[in-house]
Structure 1
Amino acid sequence: MSSVPRFDLTDIRVFTSVAEEESFTRGAERAFLSLSAASLRVKNLEEVLGAQLFYRGTRGLSLTPAGEAFLECARNVLHGVERLQDIMQPFSQGVSGHVRLFANATAISEILPGVLARFFRTHAGITVDLQERLSAEIVRAVHERIADIGVISGHVVAEGVETLPYRKDRLVLAVAEDHPLADVPFMYFADALEHDFIGLDTHSATVAFLQHEVAQMRCSLRQRVQVCSFDAMCRMVEAGVGVGVLPEMVAKRLAKATRFKTVQLMDDWAMRELRICVRRQSEMPVFARELVDFILQSG
């Protein structure tokens, strides 16, 4: 009778973290281990399995066919452990758990602070790993069980996950108070392209969205300055450097501290829908489903 390979849940978690981060350094940080300890655990795991799990080269880290197969199984094992903990929680004195929540920039800055504050008042034992990602990345993360809950743009294709309608928000044009467009109540985005724009960094979902729409128009965006946040964008707008595009709910908050005016964009795509996405509601721990309910109630 052949012996069964022996490894523990920590080995599986470390391997999964390294594989999903595509880096031993970031995987070790995510698993709260030193780089040497994480590397040793993966090396021992490969020896126990008798198979190489990673290709290690100058171009980085990638999974071997054996590693891809093991990753799929490892995710199922970790998901099963989470389900087991969820089932056993009612029999324990306290409820505890961890939720991985990925969301776009608008949700993180404008919606989730209040939602999480209310949620933690009645769920003191729950922790949340909140990360900002692009909507397409969030869908993939939820589908692959890297994230438990996602808040995404409704324009994104969300195959392989369940989505729930959440709320709508409109993109607006921010202009200085003395700008030629300051007294224009509404306009089409194409008519604003003759002006200089304040853009966000290339990792912003709003930037990717606008670039797609501009490409569809066969036009170009005259970006004078690139900044890292909507707050910095509005300060540049206030100073008269250029105009910017941002969600209306963000503009309303920032207008309290920065002087600028907004112009409604009449384009159909300017009305954006936010949606909640999960892999399967029926498989989620009770506390994760309750967090989804909290988010939906904030709509």
Structure 2
Amino acid sequence: MHFDLTDLRLFIHIAEAPSLTQGARKAFISPAAASMRIKALEAQLNSHLFYRDSKGVELTEAGQRLFKHARLVMRQVGYLKAEFTEYGTDSAGHIRIFANTTAVTEFLPEVLAGFLAQRPGVTIDLQERLSRDIVRGVLDGSSDMGIIAGPVTAAGLEVLHFSTDKLVLVSPNDHELTQYPSLTLRQTLSFHHVGLHEGSTLQAFVREQAEKLGVNLLWRIQLSSFESICRMVEAGVGIGVIPESAALRHSRTMNLTIIPLDEPWAIRERSILIRQLDALPGCIRALIAVMTQHCS
């Protein structure tokens, strides 16, 4: 069975559109030519790949299987091209990263700034995603690497531990909870919380821990950054659960009290997820090395 890379690339464009016309436009061919190529691909595989209607196209079960493999094939082709670029093995290429909230807002900006400054031929697409989407993205090839916190169960992936952080509670200095040397989440349930926006990995994680206790946290306001959370906490709006690294940094300029959380889930192991380290292009391996050194 022979696969044409042009056909696989076209198939991916249509699946992601999801429209034959839009997919053909992205592939720089006419809709008629695109339709002929997809029909030929379906005939070769003896399977229908799309459901077609007036609203566009939708992947069939066979199409979903091909989509998963096609993205991995094209990702590997991209890696192959990157290995033979004129800039060298680690000085050029494109890296897509799916990461959790803490990584995106806390330590990655500093790491990536230094990394990119030394490698003008490298570009990076950084996206904040939920943990399950990070794992799925690396597995199906839609992301080159993932950055996640907490336990990871992902067969088929390499998990590279690179640092440890923990979650703490931040409160105003005059809050009644400051009398305790440490707290459980249950002890905070009667107080208003300040948290991150919906869709953030940390927000989903903290909500999940509260749901395990059979309750919902009292969210006073939800914001886009740990700095904003700390400013609200300092003003007396509520209390917040954030990474200790962020709490320590903002406590240098704000009047905050940091209280340890006496919870087993408060310890957060940070890990890099990849499919196969040896198969990655030099620029991704170089970034992993920089991250490991920076955060150790």
How far 1:153 moved relative to its partner?
A: 1.5
In the alignment, what sits opposite 2:223? 227
In the alignment, what sits opposite 1:277? 273
In the alignment, what sits opposite 2:99? 103
- State how far apart, in whole Å, the 2-side matches of 1:134 and 1:102 are: 9
- Unpaired runs of 5+ residues, structure 2, are none
Match of 1:13 among 9, 14, 33: 9
Match of 1:132 among 112, 121, 128: 128
In the alignment, what sits opposite 1:197? 193
Contact 1:202 1:208 in 2 (8 A): yes
2:213 alignment partner AA: M
2:139 alignment partner AA: H
Q: Counterpart of 2:221 in 1: which secondary structure?
A: strand
Q: Counterpart of 1:106 in 2: which secondary structure?
A: helix
Contact 2:97 2:144 in 1 (8 A): yes
- Unpaired runs of 5+ residues, structure 1, are none
1:275 alignment partner AA: S
Match of 1:173 among 169, 178, 184: 169
Contact 2:193 2:217 in 1 (8 A): yes
Q: Counterpart of 1:298 in 2: which secondary structure?
A: helix
Q: Counterpart of 1:123 in 2: which secondary structure?
A: coil
For residues 168 and 38 of structure 1, do their structure 2 counterparts lie closer, same or farther at Cα, with a shift above 3 Å needed?
farther
How far 1:80 moved relative to its partner?
A: 3.8
2:112 alignment partner AA: L
In the alignment, what sits opposite 1:209? 205
Contact 2:96 2:124 in 1 (8 A): yes
For residues 35 and 216 of structure 1, do their structure 2 counterparts lie closer, same or farther at Cα, with a shift above 3 Å needed?
same
In the alignment, what sits opposite 1:70? 66
How far 1:279 moved relative to its partner?
A: 0.4
- State how far apart, in whole Å, the 2-side matches of 1:18 and 1:156 are: 32
Match of 1:265 among 245, 261, 267: 261
How far 1:278 moved relative to its partner?
A: 0.3
TM-score (structure 2 length as normaliser) = 0.83
- State how far apart, in whole Å, the 2-side matches of 1:296 and 1:59 are: 47
TM-score (structure 1 length as normaliser) = 0.82
Question: Any residues of structure 2 matched to 1:73-88 within 5 Å, and which?
Answer: 73-88=69-84
In the alignment, what sits opposite 1:293? 289
- How many residues get paired? 288
1:121 aligns with 2:113: no
How far 1:24 moved relative to its partner?
A: 5.2
For residues 23 and 168 of structure 1, do their structure 2 counterparts lie closer, same or farther at Cα, with a shift above 3 Å needed?
farther
Q: CA RMSD in A?
A: 3.2
In the alignment, what sits opposite 2:38? 46
State the identity %: 37
For residues 183 and 84 of structure 1, do their structure 2 counterparts lie closer, same or farther at Cα, with a shift above 3 Å needed?
same
- State how far apart, in whole Å, the 1-side matches of 2:181 and 2:42 are: 68
How far 1:38 moved relative to its partner?
A: 8.4
Contact 1:196 1:223 in 2 (8 A): yes
2:168 alignment partner AA: V
For residues 242 and 43 of structure 1, do their structure 2 counterparts lie closer, same or farther at Cα, with a shift above 3 Å needed?
farther
For residues 271 and 133 of structure 1, do their structure 2 counterparts lie closer, same or farther at Cα, with a shift above 3 Å needed?
same
How far 1:34 moved relative to its partner?
A: 6.1
Per-residue CA distance 1:114-146 (angstroms, 9 max, x = gap): 211222233221111111111221111111111
For residues 60 and 112 of structure 1, do their structure 2 counterparts lie closer, same or farther at Cα, with a shift above 3 Å needed?
farther
- State how far apart, in whole Å, the 2-side matches of 1:108 and 1:64 are: 34
2:220 alignment partner AA: R
How far 1:172 moved relative to its partner?
A: 1.0
How far 1:256 moved relative to its partner?
A: 4.1
Q: Counterpart of 2:190 in 1: which secondary structure?
A: coil
Contact 1:22 1:62 in 2 (8 A): no
Contact 2:69 2:140 in 1 (8 A): no
How far 1:60 moved relative to its partner?
A: 8.0
Contact 2:10 2:27 in 1 (8 A): no
Q: Counterpart of 2:84 in 1: which secondary structure?
A: helix
Contact 2:72 2:140 in 1 (8 A): no
Contact 2:148 2:272 in 1 (8 A): yes
1:146 aligns with 2:142: yes
How far 1:227 moved relative to its partner?
A: 2.7
How far 1:37 moved relative to its partner?
A: 6.1
